Structure formats: C-alpha cells, structure tokens
Chains A and B, each alone.
Chain A
Amino acid sequence: MKKVSRILIELAQIHRFVMQFFRELVLPPYEVKEIIRQCYEVGWKSLPLISLTGFITGLVFTNQSRPSLAEFGATSWLPALISIAIIRALAPLVTALIASGKVGSQIGAELGSMKVTEQIDAMEVSGTNPFKFLVVSRVVATTITIPILSCYTACVGLLGAFLSVNQFEATSFTVYVNQVFEAVSYLDVFSLVLKAVVFGFTIGIVGCYQGYNSSKGTEGVGKAANWAVVMSMFLIFVEEILIVQIIQAMRA
C-alpha cells in the first residue's frame, strides 16, 4: 500500500513538473541566449559521437542484411531496404539512445549537483527563475537538436551504407541516391521527425526532472544521472512502439 501511494505521489510530481514546463515555456521572459547555448552543448558537442555511431550503424546494418538478400538474389534491393530501416527506425532510435546516455546523464548530474550544492537556491534568491533558466532551456534545446541530429544520423548512416554497397555491388552514388529516395515517402520522413521530437523532449524532461528533484548528497547526484539514462531509454522504447502504431495507422 505504501509503495502504491509512493508511486502515485511520484506520478503527481512528474505531472506537475511537466505542466510547469509548458507554463514557463509560454510565459515571458524567454531565455533565448541560454537555449542557444544549450543547443550548442547538446547538439554540437554530441556530433562526433553521433557521426561515428551513425556511420557504423549504416555500414554494419548493410553488411548484416546482405547475406539474407543474397539468398534470393535480391542484393539490388539493399539501398531501398537500408533507407527504409535507417529513416523509419534506426536514425531516431540510435540518436536518442546515444543522446540519452550522453546528454541525459549530463543534465541529470549537472542539475543534481547544482541542487545539492544549493546553486539552484542561490539562483532563486538572486531574482532568477531557476526552472525557466535551467529546465526550460535544456528541454527546448534537446527537443530542437535531437531531430536535427537524427536527420544528420540518417545522412551519415546512409553514407556508411553506401560505402558497403559501392564496394560489394559496385553501385554508383547517383544510382544509390535514386534508389534510396524512391523507397522513402514523406510519411517516413515525418515519422523520423516526430519520433525525434518526442525522444528529444523525453531525454530533456527526464534528465531535468531527475536532477532538479535529486535528494541531498553526492549519492543523489549519481542516482539522478543513472535514473535519467535508465528512465529515458525505457520511455524511448515505449514511445517507439506507440509512434510506430500511429504511423502504421496513418499509412493504412
């Protein structure tokens, strides 16, 4: 019974936190400068890791898919298969998982440590709204940058796949690009952006919630960082399932 009431209280707190985010988001003043700084922190600084991961994903996925298609003599379908897989599923998912590990944990630890060392209180007493400055700016930054990073991952992944296709099937770049875009519809691109927006928001809000509400002490900071990653990854998979169902319904 105690556990149930604890869960309900936690859910109520999460609800209040999310509602406060939307309220502070629309009310002035707007922290534009801080949002741009956070976009740089989240987006630009994640670029090397995302580039490497996206490239390897495209390359490995192509190499792993080839034998199955080769059995039916259908390796010429590789570009179409890869483009659908990368744009519909892999790009947003890989980007979100990498970002939740890198960015989510960073946000959780940073805000957690600020909370523990009373920096958030110091901000509040010096006439600054810490929720707007710290939480809103970070969540907006992840919601903007994760879709951009996902599109970038898709491009880098397709480039990695091209290297493999070019090497084994001797497909030229023009033919490859034509085949890739023939297989992809606007709905696929829409699903990539939709997923990435939802994932970005999730990573930001979960990281901020864990950090902002971390309990006192260094143990709390570690816990906040850890839970930020675990919870956002879990939610990303749940959201992936839900969005796929919605897109499939739209496709039908």
Chain B
Amino acid sequence: MIKAHGHIDYETSVIDVRNVSKSFGKLDVLRGVDLQLFKGENLVVLGRSGTGKSVLIKLISGLLRPDTGTIEVLGEQVNELDEKALQLLRLKIGFSFQNSALYDSMTVRENLEFPLVRNKRHLTRGEINHEVEDVLDSVGLLPAINQMPSELSGGQRKRIGIARTLILRPEIMLYDEPTAGLDPITCIEINGLINEVQEKYKTSSIIITHDLACAKSVGDRIVMLLDGRFEREGSFDAIFDTDDERVKPFYDYNFIK
C-alpha cells in the first residue's frame, strides 16, 4: 500500500497533528484534523484550492495558531513554545513557499547567506561561501549565484527557494505548491529535486499540492483534505480508487480522462 521511496521509519513520527481546527471569521477551514508524518517520509497533502492545505503547514511551522488541538513537531508542542524556542525549532523546519518568497533586494548569494549569517554566527566567511555554493550546486543553479531574483525564471526561483531552506540542514521540509505555475518539464525537474532532497539530506517532508503528477512522483503516502478533514489516505492508486464525486474530478482533470 505504501509506495517504496527511501527509508521510512514508521516507528518515529516527526510531526503529530491532533484534532486541529482553524477558522477565519465565520469560515471553518480545518475541522478537527489528525495527521502524522513519519521520519524519512514524503507525505503529499492533496485538496482543492482554499481547503486549508497551506494553513495546515503554516500551523505546523507556528506562523498561525490553531483554534483547538495540538501540534507536536520533533517532540515539541508548537503552541506552547515561547518565541525563542519557536525560533530554534524553526531552524529544523524548511519552508518552501508557493511563490518562493525570495528577498527581492538581495542577490541569490545574499538570499542564501541570510539564514546562515543570522543563525550560525560562528561560521567564517569561507565556510559560508562553501555552504552557499554547495547547496546551490545541489539544486543545479551555481551559475546564478550573483543574479537578482527578478532575473530568474519561475522554476529557478523555486529551486533557489528550496536551496535557501536547505542551507540550515532542516530535518523537516514543508513544500507549499512546489509545482504551481510551472511548465510540465520544470515540474518534472522540481519533483526530481524533492526526491533528491529527501535522499541526500534525509528529510521528512509534507508536500502541499493539487498537481497529481507531482503527488504520484514524490509521495510515499497521500492524504486528501475534503471539507476541512482528511477523509482519504493511502497510496496514489488507493486514493483514487473511489466513486466519490469530490475526488474523481481531480483524477479526471489531471489525466484528461
């Protein structure tokens, strides 16, 4: 049932979300969500736009606070941490934003240096340069080191965004729509990169997407967010083996059935 994809430790959960709800005004986005991410696993969260997928990973990274429920990340309760402890925990979580969120006013090198300089103050200039070049090489964009974000294509921006999160060597990666707005070839490259990251950096990842090709390519396990809850869970084939009218259009549209 579970797709073979790297070495997953099903005994150890790195993220444990229990009965989490989140509303914005009168809109109930998440209604008692439960979720576990195991060590070394790539978990794909599928769902329609506006169903709260991005809200979920913002809750996990502490950017938002849940109305009810608990979120445990690497053994720590996110909601109970003070600002300093939360900052330390965040160093172990890499967050790849939908629009890459590169700092416009900085070059690629400065974008990558920023988290390093601020969080690893003991590093020498030479060590920082080495780290930046190493991680840029991992995403295949070393030649773009001195370019500004505005000079990069959408796919390149995504790669640099992922590189910036990898530079702190996170244990968990959260990808928010990694292939949104990209052409099919670039999507394949990004999917490959997500798998490479999992293998090279031994990360556990949550990938938020509505791109089924991405889900199939990178997901060890897939969960589907329907009406504010995870109603379906399993391998890619198991998820879509249903007559549920809320699920079928996903498959039919993505694979032009």
Partner of B90, one of A113, A119, A125: A125
- Is A119 touching B104 in the complex (CB atoms < 8 A)? yes
Partner of A127, one of B63, B88, B98, B103: B88
Interface residues of A in 8-40 (CB under 8 A from B): none
In the bound complex, how far is the Cα of B61 from the Cα of A121, in angstroms?
10
CB of A65 closer than 8 Å to a CB of B: no
CB of B165 closer than 8 Å to a CB of A: yes
Residues in chain B near residue A178, CB distance under 8 A: none
How many contacts between A and B, using CB within 8 angstroms? Answer: 57
Interface flags for A109-131 (1: CB within 8 Å of B; 0: not) read 00001100111011111111100
Residues in chain B near residue A122, CB distance under 8 A: 95, 97, 101-103, 164
Closest to A31 in B: B118
Interface flags for B33-72 (1: CB within 8 Å of A; 0: not) read 0000000000000000000000000100101000000000
- Is A125 touching B168 in the complex (CB atoms < 8 A)? no
- Is B101 touching A118 in the complex (CB atoms < 8 A)? yes
In the bound complex, how far is the Cα of B174 from the Cα of A118, in angstroms?
15
- Is B97 touching A121 in the complex (CB atoms < 8 A)? yes
CB of B129 closer than 8 Å to a CB of A: no
Closest to B174 in A: A125
Q: From residue A5, how far is it (CB to closest CB) to chain B in Å?
A: 14
CB of B223 closer than 8 Å to a CB of A: no
Interface residues of A in 69-96 (CB under 8 A from B): none
Partner of B164, one of A117, A118, A126: A126
Known: A126-B90, A126-B91, A128-B115. 13 other contacts (CB 8 A): A117-B99, A117-B104, A118-B97, A119-B101, A119-B104, A121-B97, A121-B101, A125-B63, A125-B90, A125-B93, A127-B91, A127-B168, A129-B87
- Is A124 touching B90 in the complex (CB atoms < 8 A)? yes
- Is A128 touching B118 in the complex (CB atoms < 8 A)? yes
Contact size range, A: 10 to 19
Residues in chain B near residue A126, CB distance under 8 A: 90-91, 95, 114-115, 118-119, 164-165, 168
Closest to A126 in B: B115
Residues in chain A near residue B91, CB distance under 8 A: 126-127
Closest to B176 in A: A118
The 5 closest A-B pairs by CB, nearest first: A122-B101, A126-B115, A118-B101, A125-B95, A127-B119
Closest to B121 in A: A29
Knowing A118-B97, A122-B97, the reply to whether A127 touches B115 (Cβ < 8 A) is yes
- Is A113 touching B104 in the complex (CB atoms < 8 A)? yes
- Is A127 touching B101 in the complex (CB atoms < 8 A)? no
In the bound complex, how far is the Cα of B83 from the Cα of A128, in angstroms?
11
In the bound complex, how far is the Cα of B97 from the Cα of A114, in angstroms?
13
